[in-house]
Each structure stands twice: as C-alpha cells, then as structure tokens.
Amino acid sequence: MKELIIALIAGVGAGGLYAMLGAGLVVAFRGSGVINFAHGAVAAYAAYTFDELRENGDVYLPWFDPIPEFGFLKTLRINNLPVKLHLGEDPSTWLAVAVALLMSAFIGLLMHFLVFRPLRNAPTLGKVIGSVGVMLYLSSIIAVNFGGQNRADVGFGGFTTDSPAVEILGGTIPRSNFYLLAAAVVMGAAVWALYRFTRFGISTRAADENEKGAALLGYSPQFIAGANWVLASVLAGAAGVLFIHKTQPALFVLFVVPALGAALFGNLSSVPGATVGGLLIGIAASGGVELADKGWWPAWLPAEGVRNTVPLLVIILILYFRGDKLPIRGSISIGRQPRAPESNNVLIGLGVCVGIAILLSNIFVSSWEAILTTSLLATLFMFSLVVLVGYLGQISLVQFSLAGVAAFTMTRLAADGTKVRPNDFFVNTGWDLPDPLAALGAVIVATIVGLVVGIPALRIRGVQLAVVTLSAVIALEDILIRNTTLLGEGAKSTNPTPEPSWFGQYVGAFNPDTNRTDYWKYTAFLILAVSLVGVAVANLRRGAMGRKFLAVRANERAAAAAGIDVSKTKMLGFGISSAIAGIAGVLFAYKLPAVSSDNFSVFAGLALLAFAYLGGITTIGGAVIGGLLVAGGLSAETLGVHFEDIDVAYINAVGAIGLIINAIVTGGEGIAMLQTDQGKHILAGLRRDPTIAPPDSVLNLTQEEIQGDVEGALV
Amino acid sequence: MTDTATTTSSSAATGETLLDISNLSAGYSGVAVIRGVNLHIKSGEVVALLGPNGAGKTTTLLTVSGLLKALEGSVAVLGAPTTFGAPHKTARRGLAHVPEDRSLFFGLTVQENLKLGLRGSRSEQAAGYETALDLLPALKPLMGRRAGLLSGGEQQMLAMARALVGKPKLLLVDEMSLGLAPIIVERLLPIVRDIADNTGAGVLIVEQHVHLALEVADRAYVMSHGEIVLEGAAAELMERRDLLEASYLGGGLEEDA
C-alpha cells in the first residue's frame, strides 16, 4: 500500500509532462480547430535541438536537404538548402533553452502557414490527414537530422537527472518530479489567465466559437490562429526541454497520446481541465505500473502495457460518454468527402499488374524480387485501408498494428519449440499448427482484435476516432505485440518466423541458397493473394455492401433512415479491413526470417497510411500506386539507383509532404483520382487551360458550397 | 418612440460619403445574385435597404464587409476599397456590421463580448463604452452573464452595443428585427437614428418592417431580384405605398419608376 502511494505521488512527474503537452493541444485546438497529432513531435524536435546544441553546438533546421549528396548528385555540387547551423563550441544552457523554444515557435509558424492555414476550410478529414502528415514529417526529419542514437541529456535548472530525492513515507521521489508538477501548474495558470483576461485571449475564444463574428469585429482569424500555433508549439518545446532528463527525446512523439487524453479531459477547451487531466493520467499510469509489479498481477498484462493503456482507457471513456459535448467549431462543415468510384476494368488492371509483377519477379531473371514483394505487401495492406477509411470513412490509424498482431500470432501458432534456422537467437514455443491453419488462426485473432478496437467507432467518429485508434496503436504494441507471455520469448526483440509450407510447397521468401528474401514461390503466392483480395475489394465496392459503406460514410443518420443498420455495417467494415490487414501481416512475416515489433511501429503504420492517401485511399488503383510509392518499394528503389544509400526516413519525409499537399490540393483524393474529371480540372488549373470546364455545373450549388464561399473569405 | 418620425426628414445629411457602392455585381460561386447596384451613404445619414426575401440585401452587406467577392463594380468604405477576404481590415477602418445571425460569442460574457468591440485609446474606449450603454441601458445588469443565456431581444441589444462601443463611422445592421417581438423592434430601431444624430455615423439598415424602417430613415433603397428598383427620401416613399407594394410584389414597376 505504501509503495502504491509513493508511486502515485511520483506520477506527478510524468503527469506534469502530459499536463503541459495537453495544455498546448488545447491552445492549438482553440486557435485553429485542429487536433494536433504532431504536438509531441514538436516537443521531440525541441528536445533534440536542446541536446544537440549543448553537445555539439549545432542547430538543425526542421527540414532536410532536398538534393542529398548521394551518388552522381555529389558531383553536381548544387547549392543545397542549409540545414545545419553551427552556433559555436559549448554554448550556454540558457542559450540552448532559448534556441529550443525559438525552434518550436518557428515550427509552429511553419505548421500554420504551410499546412493548417491552407487547410482552414478543409473538411475534418483533411485536417486530420494534415496533422498526421506533420507528425510523420517531423518524426522522419528527426531521424534524418538527429539520427537514431540515444541521447543522455542530464537536463538543466532543477530539472536534472541528479535531482536530489525527497523522502516520503520511507520511499524516495526525485525532487524534479515536483518541479515538473509546479511547471505544469504555472504554465496552465498562465495560459488560463491569458485566455481569461487579455484581449488576445478573449478574441481567441471568440474566434474559436464564431470566426465570422470575430472577423467582423476587426480580428483576423488567421492572425489569431497563427499566434496560437506559436504559443502551442512553444508550450510543447518547453515541455520537451523540461522533461528531457527523464527520457529519450524520440519518445516525446508518442507522448501526444496521453496528452490527447489530458486535452480531452479538459473538453479540448479548458486549459485547467487539461492540466488536471494530464496529472491524473500520469498518476494513474504510475500507480498501475506499480500494481503490475505485484505477485498477484497476471503475467500476461505487462507493466508497459498498463502505462500505455491508461491514456487509451481515459480517451475512450471520455469520448464514449462525453464525445457529443465536445466543441465543434462554428466554421466547421462536413465538407465534401473524397469520391470513391467503382473501379472499372478491374480484370484488365489486374492482368496488367500481375503481368508486370511476374516480369519483375525472380521467375524471370530480375533481381527486383525483394523490392517487388515490399510493394505488393504494402498494396495488400492498403486494401484494408481502402475498405475501412476509403469506403466506410472511418479514420483508423491502428490497422497496421493488427497486421503485427497477426504476424506474431502466426509465429506463435506455427512454432514447434525447435530452432527454425541455425542462427536464430530465440526459439519460439507454440501450438505447432500446420501453416495454413496457423495463418487462418492469426487472421481470426487480428479480426477479433480489430472488432474490439472498432467498438468505440459505433459512437465515435471522424477525428475522435483517429485519436482513439492512435492511442490504441500504442497500447496494442505493449499489450499484445511486445507481450512475451502471450507471444513468445522473442516478442520484445525478434521472433523467428516458421518456414511456411502450404500444401507441401515452401512459400516463404527467405532463400537459404542465396541467403536473401527472394524465393520465387513466395512472390507467386503473394501475387495470388494480392489479386484475390484486390478483386474482392473491388467487388465489395460494386455490390450492395459497398453502397451501404458509402452511405454510412456520407451521413450516418441518413443511412439509418434508409434502413441501413449502421452499427452492423461499421462492424462489418472493421472486420473485413482487419482480416485483410491480418493477411498482409501473415504474408509480411513469411517474407522475413524474424519479425520484431519495430516492423509494426506506429510510424511504419502512419507511413503506410500516408502513402495510401497519396495513392488514393478510395480506390484499389490508389492502393496499387501507394504500394509502389512506399519506402523500399518499386518507385523508391528505382530512384534509389540514383540516390544510393537513401534513407527510409527521407522517403517517409517526402511521403509526409506528399500527404499534406494531397490534403490541401485534392482534399485527400490522391493520385489515382487525377485521371478522373476532377483530376483533369486540377491539372487544367495548374496549366491554366481554360478549355476544360470545371466539373461542377455552377448552377448545381449546394448549401455547403455557398456557405463555403462565405467562410472562404475568412483569410 | 413617436417623435423620431418628425426628426427624420430634417436631418438630411450633407457630410462626407462613407459608403460608395457603384455598379456592383456580387454573388456565390461566380453566379451574380446582385447586379449593377449603386448605393451611397453620407455621414449622419440613416439609409434603409428594403425589399422582399431573396432580393440581395444581405448579399450586398456581405460584399461591403469583404465577406463576399465583388464580381464587378466597386465598393469604397470610408474612402478605401474593401478588400475581399479581409473583413477585419475593413472593420478596423471603422465599419461595424451586425450580421443577420448576430454572430455573438455565446461562450463569452456580455462584458467580454463588448470588450472585443472596443477600439482606440483607453479614453476612447471608455467613451465608447459609455455611449453604447447609455443607448442600451438594459444591458447594464447583465454584464457578467454569458451571451448564450440572453433572450433574443437582449442578444440583439448586445450585438448592437458591441457594434457601438467601437464608435463606428459606418454601421450596417442586417435584419435587426429578425425573431423579435414588434415592441422590441419599435424600441431598438430608433436607436440607430440616435447613433446617426449623435455620432455622425452613417447607418445602413436592412429591414422587413418597412414602415418602422422608413420612420427612422432619411432615405431608402428598394431591391428586387438583385437590382435596386426604387430609391428616394424616406418621407416620399412613405407616401407612395403603391410603389413599394409593387416592388415587393414584383409587378408594374417599370412604368411607375
């Protein structure tokens, strides 16, 4: 009991961090109506900036060199975009703090002007994609600019690793925990006072509620939004700098999840509420972790899982019971959803794609096998997003984790307790099922988990669902994927995959003869799977079920009024999508000699979502294009001929930029839709070709479009 | 209330032109809703913009504020052209627009709503505050209440007061009477007369209560189907009810006007 109380008190340290980040999320939301998934990434960038400056005296600007000095480009000697600035040896700590905060403010300005201002009249979906894009972009840029190595920053001021301990009830808690609590309370109180008493704060609240009204009184909604972006980012930066002594800066990116819980606790509008919520989440998580250490605690629920489940539970409970009371901005319009046409000529497209795939495969003489299968796997996985996000309109960020669940379940079900390959480090015990049964079992498990994750979607939709599923990604990773009790010893590092044999044929990609993952039967197996699933998804869209999906996507109430069982339809969508993700996960595991949780990290999932959007998330053609685009896929590797050693992070950063541009330019329709009339119109606009008429007849205006005109004026 | 009618025609304005709309066409998504509108307001003048529903009155006001783009023609507010897309700039020059939906901030208190309307130096702010509350004393006991909790009439008073505390040089009031009891309209409308007389501001009111509007206005324009079909001194229009009715009902105007 005493330990528990001590743990609860110690929780104010992490709670302080969540509170500070949550307050920043509220500020960004009030200023611009955006739930900023990139908030943690801003904190991470500030923390890295702080540490890098103290260590090496360097400052990295938040972008990358668009023309890397690789391969033949090195000889071109083009004047590149400056990225690194040297501020001298051994700069003072306070300079580092100031630079980190300035960097945050700068990133806030960039986010405002480059992403969220252009997206100001976009539908909710566009804003979510934009903010996920920024999150992916910043984490990729962090990987490019700061590398993956661990940092050991001791902190500054009172916020240091060697902070003296305070003795409470016989236990010790670092004093810095209480400083963090104090910092969170001071920051929260300052922002609260700013919103309560100053003209700027009142006008922010006013514009939050009614942009037109604020503009007519002489307040520029865009100035207010920009200023709040800067304020929110500086708060994030401050949180990053104050907390860096406790953790690795890279981890800040995902601290956005408990911060979202905190912000939701404050109803996305109250800074004191967010502060309290953040502290409570920190305290509850710390207490939960302490309980997980007890002997009676079930071993299958590991401590890390508990830590990351607390915010998930808080978020689900708040959204489930209070979601309808969350603020909706006055300017918000449902907006036009990206179109999801039926795919024409599926069989011809299939034939062409299969033909090209076979040509590129090892069945002939190519050495493109591994690259080809990467693209195929990505396409297969993206089919699950086409069903769920494209057709049904449910923004789920968790699908790739379900692929991971399937992959790990499959290894567990198929393992027989013997060493699979000579140099495997771990030996997995399991049920020794035949491979087809193990795969089936894995897909079923992924489907069930997907359905469970989908339950909140019965009441939670749009951006709120994105919040839930993002937090589910973090929780699932620790509860299921990295759970050694459930999924075998290797779950935390690398789990060996079985050598799959279907009907007497070895269908794994690993070729012991060449020691590479390029065995042709795997490719053929994969082509078959992608073809079958692709045709099934295309037929889904054509049939009655596809129409139901689109009806639910367009308007749930209208769909219900037309006799569609919305709950059932949503569950069906989650089930089908999760099953496809599971199939992709199993086949992904067949490709590798071992799978690790890193293969299914939240960033890998977000990158796939980004490329699926970029390809066109509403059509199977878009999934094919998205599959070509992914890092390690065909187009990236083709470029790689010229850009040797190009990093995954570069490609993901480019993908994130593409995602943001896609959200701004096409409203999220993606490349696949450029062939349609809307696409032709966009292209014509770019070329200033007046001969192609706009697709919407000007006389068929909807109320929203007219409304949009008035709102569009609020620059 | 009754004495306002007598003062109206006497205060014919001769001051500077505050609003000058010439040959304006504007609308939504490229389709003109109003065409060839000419309208001007001088300081100290109350001008009524009348006409049936859908005539384009609100569209005209939105264009003046810069919320809609002019397709043709020009709008000069207080000597400078309106910038489309930057209504806040026009507002800062001294234009106050009370839109049809009132655009109050329901989550803010009455005081905070008023505070957002303040302009200029501290003493100017204090003066504006006093003027507005003198004209609308009913708001005084409601200062700490959230705007969302006010009654419809109180909300309209707040919207007016919020426009007035900034001491606007030009005031646009769109459908002040919408959803209000006639008795409240009778009490509120004369206030715009007082504003014009006391501060020298120009006022443009869009009204459905034609008779009440003409009682307080100096001049009036009548719109129909996006065009101005009739204009003249308020007193003259009062006597030509036949013309007014014709413009509302849409028949036989050409030969009369």
Domains with residue ranges and CATH for chain B: 4-94+169-256 (3.40.50.300), 105-167 (no CATH)
For the record, the structure tokens of A463 come out as 């951006």
- Which among A546, A566, A601 is the end of a domain? A601
C-alpha B171/C-alpha A218 separation (Å) is 14
Amino acid, single-letter form, for residue A279: L
Report CA B156 to chain centroid distance, whole Å: 13
Give the pairing of strands B95-98 and B80-81: unpaired
C-alpha A170/C-alpha A173 separation (Å) is 10
Q: B166 and A218 in contact by Cβ < 8 A?
A: yes
Contact B119, B125 (CB under 8 A): yes
Q: Scanning the structure block, which residue is given the tokens 């009991």?
A: A1
Residues A100 and A176 in one domain: yes
First-last CA distance in chain A: 57
A706 CB neighbours in chain B (<8 A) are 28-29
Residues A311 and A383 in one domain: no
For the record, the structure tokens of A416 come out as 């027989």
Residues A401 and A294 in one domain: no
Q: At what angle do helices A12-32 and A39-56 cross, to 10 degrees?
A: 120
Number of other residues whose CB lies within 10 A of the CB of residue A227: 19
Helix%, strand%, coil% for chain A, nearest 5: 65, 5, 30
C-alpha A560/C-alpha A548 separation (Å) is 10
Q: Which residues of chain B have pLDDT under 70?
A: 1-14, 250-257
d(CA A215, nearest CA chain B) in Å: 5
Half-sphere exposure of B246 (CA within 13 A, CB side): 14
Q: A209 and B66 in contact by Cβ < 8 A?
A: no
**DSSP of A457-480:** GGT--THHHHHHHHHHHHHHIIII
Residue B15 per-residue DSSP state: S
Residues A29 and A124 in one domain: yes
Contact A168, A9 (CB under 8 A): yes
B164 CB neighbours in chain A (<8 A) are none
Q: Is A141 helix (H, G, I), strand (E, B) or coil?
A: helix
d(CA A702, nearest CA chain B) in Å: 10
**Residues ≥6 apart with Cβ < 8 Å to A498:** A410, A411, A414, A415, A416, A420, A435, A438
Helix%, strand%, coil% for chain B, nearest 5: 45, 25, 30
What are φ and ψ of residue B145, in 5° steps? -85, 145
A640 within domain boundaries: no
pLDDT for the residue A97: 95
First-last CA distance in chain B: 32
For the record, the structure tokens of A676 come out as 């349609």
Report CA A416 to chain centroid distance, whole Å: 35
Half-sphere exposure of A26 (CA within 13 A, CB side): 32
Contact A361, A354 (CB under 8 A): no
Report CA B194 to chain centroid distance, whole Å: 14
Q: Is A212 on the interface with B (CB under 8 A)?
A: yes
**Sign of the C-alpha dihedral computed for residues A300, A302, A305 and A306 taken in this order:** positive
Taking any CB pair shorter than 8 Å as contact, residues of chain B touching chain A are 28-31, 62, 65-69, 84-89, 91-92, 96-97, 99, 103-108, 112-113, 115-117, 119, 162, 166
Residues A7-39, buried b or exposed e (16+ Cβ, 10 A)? bbbbbbbbbbbbbbbbbbbbbbbbbbbbbbbbb
A423 within domain boundaries: yes
Residues A397 and A321 in one domain: no
Q: Which residues of chain A have pLDDT under 70?
A: 67-80, 148, 323-336, 362-367, 638-646, 667-668, 673-715
Contact A590, A391 (CB under 8 A): no
A335 within domain boundaries: no
C-alpha A401/C-alpha A384 separation (Å) is 12
Size of interface A-B (CB pairs under 8 A): 94
Half-sphere exposure of B200 (CA within 13 A, CB side): 6
For the record, the structure tokens of A79 come out as 């004047």
Q: A202 and B88 in contact by Cβ < 8 A?
A: no
Q: A203 and B116 in contact by Cβ < 8 A?
A: yes
Q: B88 and A203 in contact by Cβ < 8 A?
A: no
Give the pairing of strands B219-224 and B46-50: parallel
Residues A423 and A473 in one domain: yes
A71 within domain boundaries: no
Interface probe, candidates B88, B119, B165, chain A, greatest A C-beta count within 10 A: B88
C-alpha A333/C-alpha A196 separation (Å) is 28
Tally of structural domains, chain A: 3
**DSSP of B107-124:** TSBHHHHHHHH--SSHHH
- Closest to A430 measured CA to CA, from A506, A509, A497: A497
Q: A698 and B67 in contact by Cβ < 8 A?
A: no
Residues A158 and A299 in one domain: yes
What are φ and ψ of residue A165, in 5° steps? -85, 150
d(CA B89, nearest CA chain A) in Å: 6
A588 within domain boundaries: yes
- Closest to A385 measured CA to CA, from A588, A569, A611: A611
Chain A residue closest in CA terms to B65: A216
- Helix-then-strand count for chain B, H and E: 11, 10
B66 CB neighbours in chain A (<8 A) are 713
**DSSP of A181-227:** HHHHHHHHHHHHHHHHHSHHHHHHHHHHH-HHHHHHTT--HHHHHHH
**CATH of residue A26:** 1.10.3470
Angle formed at CA A213 by CA A207 and CA A214, multiple of 5 degrees? 45
d(CA A19, nearest CA chain B) in Å: 24
Chain B residue closest in CA terms to A206: B105
- Which among A601, A622, A652 is the end of a domain? A601
Which residues span the domain enclosing A701? 683-712
C-alpha A713/C-alpha B1 separation (Å) is 39
Residues A508 and A553 in one domain: yes
d(CA A195, nearest CA chain B) in Å: 11
Residue A616 per-residue DSSP state: -
Name the pTM for this structure. 0.86
C-alpha B213/C-alpha A438 separation (Å) is 81
Q: A713 and B87 in contact by Cβ < 8 A?
A: yes
Q: Is A3 on the interface with B (CB under 8 A)?
A: no
For B103, the closest of A210, A218, A699 (CB atoms) is: A210
pLDDT for the residue B7: 39
Report CA A672 to chain centroid distance, whole Å: 22
Chain A 422-461, CB below 8 Å of chain B: which residues?
Answer: none
User: Could you report the per-residue pLDDT of B192-238, keeping only the tens digit for each?
Assistant: 898 899 888 999 999 888 888 999 999 999 998 899 999 999 999 88
A648 within domain boundaries: no
Q: Is A216 on the interface with B (CB under 8 A)?
A: yes
For the record, the structure tokens of A199 come out as 């003209």
- Which among A552, A581, A601 is the end of a domain? A601
Q: Is the ipTM of this complex over 0.95?
A: no
Give the pairing of strands B46-50 and A516-517: unpaired
Write the Ramachandran bin of B142: left for phi over 0, alpha for psi from -120 to 50, otherwise beta: alpha
Average pLDDT in chain A: 84
Q: At what angle do helices A369-385 and A566-591 cross, to 10 degrees?
A: 170
Residues A320 and A360 in one domain: no
A497 within domain boundaries: yes
**Residues ≥6 apart with Cβ < 8 Å to A484:** A302, A490, A491, A492
Number of residues that make up chain A = 715
Number of other residues whose CB lies within 10 A of the CB of residue A538: 24
B168 CB neighbours in chain A (<8 A) are none
Residues A374 and A511 in one domain: yes
Number of other residues whose CB lies within 10 A of the CB of residue A86: 10
Residues A307 and A437 in one domain: no
C-alpha A665/C-alpha A679 separation (Å) is 10
pLDDT for the residue A530: 94
Residues A318 and A407 in one domain: no
Q: At what angle do helices A271-292 and A256-265 cross, to 10 degrees?
A: 130
C-alpha A394/C-alpha A549 separation (Å) is 10
A190 within domain boundaries: yes
